[in-house]
Amino acid sequence: MSNPILASAVVEEEVPSLVRPEVHSEPVSLSRAMASEWIKFRTLRSSWAILIAAVIGLPAIGLIVAYNTRHITPSIAPEDLGPSATMQGFLLGQLLIGALGVLVVSGEYSTGMIRSTFAAVPKRLPTVWAKALVFAVVVGTTLTVAAVVAFLSSQALLSHYRPGYSLTDPGVPRAVFGTAMYLTLLGVLGGAVGWIVRNTPGALVSFLGLILVVPVIFGNLLGNWGKDVAQFMPGEAGRSFITGLHQPYMLSVGTGLVVFLAWVAVAVACATVLLRRRDV
C-alpha cells in the first residue's frame, strides 16, 4: 500500500509550478506612487476646474486692479501702488487652491478609494509624499505661469497711463514668484488638513477657519495682543512675504516666510503621524 504523504511530496517535487506558484510583484516606490497620483489628479474634472478658475482669477483680478489704479488719486491706498498690487488675485487663489489641496486628499475618503490606495501602498507614507509632490509640481508650475501673465498683462495696461514695474525691479520677483509659491504651499497645507480631518466638509471648514476666520477674530476683536497673535497665522505670515509694503502688525519678509514654512511642515508632520496610527 502506497504512502499518500510520500506520493504528495513526489507530485510537489515534479510539478512545483502547480503547488507553489511564484508571484512576481514589483516593489512600491515613490515614483510609482507619484504615477498613480498623477493619474488620479488628471482624471478628475473637479481638479482642473478649480485650478483653471485660479489661473483665470489671477490675471483677471490683476487687470481690474490695474484699471482701477491707472490714475493716481488721494483715494488710492499705498498698497495698491506697489509691485504686489496687481497680484491681489491671490486672495481668490488661496481659497481655490486651498480647497483643491483638501479635496485631493479628502475626496478619496469620501468615495472609499482610500482603501484601495492603501492596499496598493501598505506603508501609506509614500502616498502622502506622492500626493504632495504631484500637487506641488502641477499646481506650482501652472500658477507660476499664471502669476507672470497676471503681472505682465496688468503692467502693460498701466503703462498706457503711468509708469509701472518690470520683472527686474526690486521686490517684483518676490511678489510674482512668491505668490505662486505661497498658493502652492497653501494647497499642500490644505492637503495636510485633509489627511488630519479625513472628511471633506470638516476639512474645508477647518482650513478656511485657519486661514480666514481665526486671524480676523484675533486681529479685530482681541485688541493689540490679538493682532500680535494674528500675524503668526499661516495666511498672514505668507502675505507678509509676498507683499511689497510693510504694514503695522505684519511680520518681516524673512520671518513671515519662516513662520509660513513652519506651519506647512508641522501640518504635514502631524498628518503623517496620525496616518500611521489610525485605521482607514
35 DSSP assignment:
H
The structure's pTM equals: 0.85
On the question of pLDDT at 76 being above 80, the answer is no
DSSP 187-251: HHHHHHHHHHH-SHHHHHHHHHIIIIIHHHHHHHHSHHHHHHHHTTSHHHHHHHHH-SS--TT--
Task: State the Cα–Cα distance between residues 262 and 276, nearest whole angstrom.
Answer: 21
- Cell reading at 249: 502688525
| Residue 164 main-chain phi, psi, to 5 deg | -120, -145
- Cell reading at 165: 514695474
Task: State the Cα–Cα distance between residues 149 and 127, nearest whole angstrom.
Answer: 33
- Residue-wise over 83-98: b if at least 16 C-beta within 10 A, else e? bbbbbbbbebbbbbbb
108 DSSP assignment:
H
- Please give the C-alpha separations between residue 98 and each of 4, 104, 220, 259, in angstroms, as whole numbers: 67, 10, 23, 18
On the question of pLDDT at 280 being above 70, the answer is no
Helix, strand or coil, per DSSP, at residue 180:
helix
On the question of pLDDT at 9 being above 50, the answer is no
The pLDDT tens digits for 154-190 are 999 988 888 888 888 888 899 999 999 999 999 999 9
The pLDDT tens digits for 194-236 are 999 998 999 999 999 999 998 888 877 777 788 888 889 999 8
Task: State the Cα–Cα distance between residues 198 and 111, nearest whole angstrom.
Answer: 11
Distinct helix (H) and strand (E) counts, the chain: 13, 0
The pLDDT tens digits for 225-242 are 888 888 899 998 988 888
Task: State the Cα–Cα distance between residues 85 and 88, nearest whole angstrom.
Answer: 6
The pLDDT tens digits for 137-155 are 999 999 999 999 999 999 9
Would you report the helix, strand and coil content of the chain in percent, each value rounded to 5?
75, 0, 25
Residue-level pLDDT at 36: 86
